[in-house]
Structure 1
Amino acid sequence: MPDSPTARQVRSRVQRRLRYLYLSAVLWRRHIPIWTAAILIGLMASVFANGSHLSHAIFTRIYDNSPYWSLLITPAGLALAIWLMRHYFPGSAGGGIPQSIAALEGGMQALRERILTIRAAIGKMLLTLIGISSGATFGYEGPIVQVGAAIKYSLNRHAALRHEGAARSFILAGGAAGVAAAFNAPLAGIVFAIEEMGRTFDLRASSTILLSVIVSGLTATAILGNYSYFGMVSVNMELEQSWLAIPVCGIIGGLLGGVCCRIMLALTLRLPGPLHGWRLKKPVLFAAGCGLALAVIGIASDGITFGTGYFRAREIIEGSGAGMQGYGLLKLLSMFISFISAVPGGMFAPSLAVGAGFGLNMANLLPFLPQTLIVLLGMVGFFAGMTRAPMTGFIIVMEMTDSSAMIIPLMATALLASNVSRLITRRALYDGQVHIFLRQWHAGQTTPAAKQIDPRAAEK
């Protein structure tokens, strides 16, 4: 006997409900790894932040006991980091941001399997903290980009292997979530993903990025609290003040940032003179030599150049940086030496500290304006000049200092500095480093920059 109309309707309704429940379960299974990865990124950012501050505090306490301890600790720490990287964590080398951007390129599955693993993420965190605890000029904000990308990619590896677009989405979302959680700056994380990492940006990745930024940011805030990275500042810029401060900070910051970018790219490609051969043949001893140089500079500067630069930059922003007129240049020198040591570590936060130091110098040129105002413009000018990422620059400084009232001056300074930087260097910092990284990866070269992919390649 055939079904009645009522029976067919009931059966159709049941089938629709079952289909809905099935599809909902599938969607939940797809989203659980994304949520889990975002929570883990927030947790790792909190561990990284607390570990960085604790490492710096321990080093400072030892230094205060006797400055000459740094002559032992800094060389030994950098040598240990290089030794561990070469033997146990070869995928953890580099600053983190160029490696993550390179992994976004199509056909880079082999590279992703090397640098976007949980082992590489653990190594990146461990080695960076060793460098910071040794007093070197490193930050954790660059490495957390690779850590975030590695966690996101690893937990969603099956989907990433099936779809190239999904793989890029996970890498972008992981990097953005890392920046947002590290700086407590969600807008900066989103803009960073689009502006700095977004050469292969796909609009379909926007929901994954937003979800990851929100969840990782909430996780980090739940642990660290709602804070401004460089503290709260109360400063406003009147129109009659901005006409002079913006061009001064934009032009000087852009020139200094462009010169710094050009030097960093040259050092990425090849060290000058015999230094190239020394690092190639004796990387552990070379790192120890870099540590000794950092210790000497630190002792000569009364300890102000040690560490990420977070605390010194905060002092300058808050107007208590008396006697630190040479900080910008000295911190820049220590950043170069830390970089050529090849120890994993980021230049993101140190570059902002250098910019704060140069901003203090610019404030002397404009003594009739508030020092904090000029320092903030100097920070964004130098950062935008070095990275040529003006949107990331002004948003990250605005969010880190809670200075939303200065958004227009910060924006104008960043844009001017970015364009001035083009007169000094054809490529921006991360874009140039990615270009070198990919070229050497494809060519299989064994220069120091290529050895960051596999440090043992030169021994073969």
Structure 2
Amino acid sequence: MLNNTRENSCIEIKLALLCVLVGIGAGLGAVIFRYSIEFFHEVMWVHLAGFLSGFSQWAIMFIPIIGMFVVWLFLGATLRKGEGHGVEEVMRSISLNDGRISGKITPIECIASSFCMGFGGSVGPEGPMIQIGSGVGSFIGQVFNLEQRKLVLITAAGAAGGLGAIFNAPIAGVIFAMEAVLEEFNTKGFCYLVLSSVVATQITKSILGNKVLLEMQGAVWGQWPELIIFALMGIIGGIVGVSFVLLLNKAGSFVSSINSVPGYVKPICGGIILGLFALYFPVVLGEGYEYINMAMDLRFTMGMFFLIVLLKIFATVVTLSFGGSGGVFAPSLVIGSMFGGGVFWLASSFLPGIVGSPETYIAVGVATILGSAFKSPITAIIMVMEITNNYAIVLPVMIASVCATLVGWALLRGCSIYN
């Protein structure tokens, strides 16, 4: 009996240390990934754009065309037919392959997605970082020959570390890994995931700096009747999030079903559309965090807020459906913030006496899209609290996120943007 207890204790200590090791790998992976994005962005939008501008101002539209074609070519050359990547691949490996992820997927995802974000593809870093972190976890688990359940857990620990590190949101990383990746909550698993997420986030903060993604210290909200507005935002935002999911899935299926043209035509067509955005409406390209900060200063009109919502959805759908690579968290943050900014303009016009600050509406808008599209209300609430560094708006965020998630559950029948 005593020997069994000691053996179990050694196994638990070993797993805890391995989760710390996974956190180190995920944190360093986040740093490399962020530097890669910046490198490719400089190559494409400083050096190549400078060269092309010598011919014509129209020439910059070739940057997304070149970018989409290169990503398509790279993924086609490195992935076997039917082999996936991104969050969907992580979830598939956990549910069908006991947490085993091919070792080559991690560098492929890092290169393809950082290049796609670098040239201005409307995608975000969370999908690649969940893949990178999970790949590190799976690799370490296989090296140490962990049994199936522990291999799944350490793979999920990598996902928690990757998401926590890239967004400086360690709690959200843990909750997302349990809520969306493992789809179960338990105390012991929570502890292991925390080890990875804390270590990964701290490494990233030490190297890249302690940056709050959306600083909203001044965000406030008014009287309790304003909660009704936030609940209505949750319902309407839930419909927006569901529309985003459906468009993304339908467009991806439609483009994949087109077999009458050579494969390279699809990324070129997608690049042409993104190139037109680069010329006439660049606000919808890239991660778009700088435009969220502009939204908090109300630099857009009400009509422009809602227009950006529609075109950001379209740009993200085009990027991913026509061969791009990346995540959908960052586009969701932009979509949600613009939706919240538009609602603030509307509410302040008709109900000026009870409306709080625009930052609150932007945060609530983000929570509605995350809750409905990702079927992860707890992650949405925690994520908004961490990336805004403001707990004072937790009640509006909670009510809106839950309402949006219920709408998503009802309309998508329990599915999310990943499945």
Note whether the superposition's TM-score is higher than 0.5: yes
- Which consecutive segments of 4 or more residues in structure 1 shift more than 3 A? 22-34, 53-67, 89-95, 200-204, 318-324
Q: Is residue 363 of structure 1 aligned with residue 344 of structure 2?
A: yes
Distance 1:255 1:418 in 2: 10
For the pair 1:343 / 2:324, whether they are aligned, the reply is yes
Tell me how far 1:231 sits from its aligned partner.
2.8
Alpha-carbon distance between aligned partners in 2 of 1:406 and 1:70, rounded to the nearest angstrom: 41
Match of 1:78 in 2: 68
Counterpart pick for 1:260 among 244, 247, 253: 244
Q: Give the Cα–Cα distance (whole angstroms) in 1 for the partners of residues 337 and 44 of structure 2.
A: 22
Aligned-partner Cα distance in 2 for 1:96–1:351? 16
1:418 Cα deviation (Å)?
Answer: 0.9
Give the superposition deviation at 1:233.
Answer: 3.5
Q: Give the direction of change, closer, same or farther, for the CA distance of 1:398–1:320 in structure 2 (3 Å limit).
A: farther
For residues 375 and 32 of structure 1, the distance between their equivalents in structure 2, rounded to whole angstroms, comes to: 39
**Residues in 2 aligned to 1:133 and 1:121: alpha-carbon distance in whole angstroms:** 18
CA RMSD across the alignment: 2.9
Report what 2:368 is aligned to.
381
For 1:408, what is the secondary structure of its paired residue?
helix
What does residue 35 of structure 1 align with? 20
CA contact (8 A) 1:297 1:305 kept: yes
> Counterparts of 2:391 and 2:218 in 1: how far apart (Å)?
10
Aligned position for 1:310: 289
Q: How many residues are aligned here?
A: 403
Report the alpha carbon displacement of residue 226 of structure 1 after superposing the two structures with TM: 1.6
1:17-56 correspondence runs (5 A)? 32-56=17-41
Distance in 2 (alpha carbons) for counterparts of 1:343 and 1:90: 17
Matches within 5 A, 1:51-450: 51-56=36-41, 59-61=44-46, 68-90=58-80, 96-105=86-95, 107-108=96-97, 113=100, 116-159=101-144, 161-199=145-183, 203-240=187-224, 242-268=226-252, 270-271=253-254, 276-278=257-259, 282-301=262-281, 303-321=282-300, 324-325=304-305, 326-367=307-348, 368=352, 369=355, 370-430=357-417, 433=419
Flag the 1:43–1:285 CA change in 2: closer, same or farther, 3 A. same
> In structure 2, the residue corresponding to 1:240 is in which secondary structure?
coil
Alpha-carbon distance between aligned partners in 2 of 1:245 and 1:316, rounded to the nearest angstrom:
19
Shift of the 91–152 alpha-carbon distance from structure 1 to 2, 3 Å rule, reads farther
CA distance, structure 2, for counterparts of residue 244 and residue 206 of structure 1: 34
1:329–1:358 Cα contact (<8 Å) kept: no
Distance 1:71 1:139, change over 3 A: same
For residues 322-375 of structure 1, the C-alpha deviation after alignment (integer angstroms, 9 at most, x for no partner) is 684321111111011011023221111111111112222212211233222212
| Conserved? CA contact 1:94–1:345, under 8 Å | no
Residues 121 and 324 in structure 2, CA contact (< 8 A), matched pair in contact too: no
Amino acid at match of 1:129: S
Amino acid paired to 1:383: L
Residue type of the partner of 1:39? I
Deviation string 1:144-202 (CA, Å, 9 cap, x unpaired) is 0010000011022144x551111110111110111111110111011111211122555
Q: Is the 8 A contact 1:96 1:143 kept in 2?
A: yes
2:19–2:157 contact (8 Å) kept in structure 1: no
Q: Please tell me whether the aligned partners of residues 92 and 120 of structure 1 are also in contact (alpha carbons under 8 angstroms).
A: no
Any idea what SS the aligned residue of 1:283 has?
A: coil
Contact 1:247 1:416 in 2 (8 A): yes
Residue 29 of structure 1: how far off its partner (Å)? 6.2
CA distance in 2, matches of 1:361, 1:396: 22
SS in 2 for 1:315: helix
Q: Secondary structure at the match of 1:382?
A: helix
| TM-score, normalised via structure 1 length | 0.79
> Is the alpha carbon distance of 1:304 and 1:58 closer, same or farther for their aligned partners in structure 2, counting shifts above 3 Å?
farther
Q: Which amino acid aligns with 1:385?
A: S
The answer (yes or no) to whether the contact 1:85–1:92 under 8 Å persists in 2 is no
Q: Which residue type is aligned with residue 208 of structure 2? A: L
- The amino acid across from 1:380 in the alignment is A
Instruction: Name which one, 1 or 2, has greater alpha-carbon Rg.
Output: 1
**Aligned mates of 1:123, 1:383 — CA distance in 2:** 27
Would you say the 8 A contact 1:387–1:429 is kept in 2?
yes
Q: Is the 8 A contact 2:72 2:267 kept in 1?
A: yes
- Separation (CA, whole Å) in 2 of partners of 1:427 and 1:315: 34
Distance in 1 separating the partners of 2:128 and 2:63? 22
Deviation string 1:64-93 (CA, Å, 9 cap, x unpaired) is: 856533321111111111111111244997
Worse overlay, 30-39 or 171-180: 30-39
Q: Which amino acid aligns with 1:34?
A: C
**Deviation of the 1:283 alpha carbon:** 2.7
Q: Which residues of structure 1 form unaligned runs of 5+?
A: 1-15, 434-460
Q: Secondary structure at the match of 1:429?
A: coil
Q: Which amino acid aligns with 2:31?
A: S
Aligned partner of residue 126 in structure 2, secondary structure: coil
Provide the identity percentage: 21
